[in-house]
Amino acid sequence: MSTAMVMQEAKVFNTDGELVMEGECDLEEGVEEASFQPSLDSRSLERQQEPLYLELEDGRVFEISKRHIRLNVQSSMGLRAVYRLHVLRRTRPPVD
């Protein structure tokens, strides 16, 4: 099974449609996982309840699990947080 990785801007929202975090996302289609690099890591993802929604700049929206892995990765800009997100299914935005 091959996976396609597509890097694009993305946002994570809670059920009320409130922005939890935004940044760059690599969606691994076919694997149901995504790597998310928030532009500002406030650790607000840990305080959220399910369901959560990942909205990509191309308009697609996915429901994601609250379970995630947070990694600290060294980059040219210093230490950055990267979240590994588990994609549950494609869906509609929580609030229009």
pLDDT in tens, 17-60: 899 999 999 998 777 899 999 988 777 877 888 789 999 999 99
Matching residue, tokens 């309840």: 49
CATH of the domain at 38: 2.40.10
- Domain presence at residue 16: yes
Domains: count for the chain: 1
What are the DSSP E strand ranges found in 1-96? 4-13, 19-29, 33-38, 52-56, 61-75, 78-91
- Domain presence at residue 56: yes
Tell me, what's the pLDDT at 4? Answer: 54
Tell me, what's the pLDDT at 8? Answer: 93
Tell me, what's the pLDDT at 1? Answer: 45
pLDDT at 96 over 70: no
The reported pTM is 0.82
H or E stretch covering 18: none
